[in-house]
Amino acid sequence: MPFADILGHDRIIEVLRRSLLSGKTAHSYLFEGVPGCGRKKTALSLIQALFCTALPDDACGVCTSCRKIEGGNHPDVHLLSPLPDKRDISIDQLREMQRELSLRPYESPRKVCIIDPAERLNVNSANSLLKTLEEPPGNALIILLTENAGMLLSTVRSRCQLMRFAPLSHEHIATLLERCGMTPEAAALVAPMSGGSLQKALELDNEALIARREAVLSRIEQMSIHHISSVFNASEELSGNRESTLELLDMLISFFRDAVHLGAGSGDIVNRSLRPAIESIAARRSFPRNLELLERIYETRRDVQRNANPKLALDQLFMAMGVNIK
Ligand SMILES: [Zn+2]
Q: What is the pTM of this model?
A: 0.72
Q: How far is the CA of 56 from the centre of ligand 1 (A)?
A: 9
Q: How many angstroms does the Cα of residue 250 sit away from the middle of ligand 1?
A: 41
For ligand 1, the distance from its centroid to the CA atom of residue 9, given in whole angstroms, is: 21
The answer on pLDDT for 169 being more than 60 is yes
Domain 3-164: give its CATH architecture: 3-Layer(aba) Sandwich (3.40)
pLDDT confidence tier of residue 326, bands split at 50, 70 and 90: very low
Fold classified for 205-323: Zinc Finger, Delta Prime; domain 3 (1.20.272)
Q: Do domains 3-164 and 205-323 have the same CATH topology?
A: no
- Measured in Å, residue 57 CA sits from the centre of ligand 1 at 10
What pLDDT, on the 0 to 100 scale, is given for residue 210? 78
The CA 67 to ligand 1 mean position distance, Å, reads 7
d(CA 146, CA 2) in angstroms, rounded, equals 23
Cα of 248 vs centre of ligand 1, distance in Å, is 44
Q: How many CB atoms lie within 10 A of CB 38?
A: 26
Domain residue ranges of the chain, discontinuous segments joined by + = 3-164, 205-323
Q: For the chain, what is the mean pLDDT? A: 90
- Per mean pLDDT, which range of 124-128, 172-176, 269-273 is the poorest? 269-273
The arithmetic mean of pLDDT across residues 33-40, rounded, is: 95
Using the mean position of ligand 1's atoms as its centre, give its distance from the Cα of residue 212 in Å.
45
Give the C-alpha separation, 17 to 163, whole Å: 14
Distance 72 CA to ligand 1 centre (A): 14
Verify cis geometry, omega within 30 degrees of 0, for the bond prior to 117: yes
d(CA 285, CA 213): 20
Cβ(31)–Cβ(9) below 8 Å? no
Over residues 123-150, the mean pLDDT reads: 93
Q: Residue 49 Cα, ligand 1 centroid: separation in angstroms?
A: 7
55 CA distance to ligand 1 centroid (A)? Answer: 6
Does residue 325 have a pLDDT over 50? no
Predicted confidence at residue 323, as pLDDT, reads 53
**Ligand 1 centroid, distance to 48 Cα (angstroms):** 7
On the CB side of 206, how many CA atoms lie within 13 Å of its CA?
A: 11
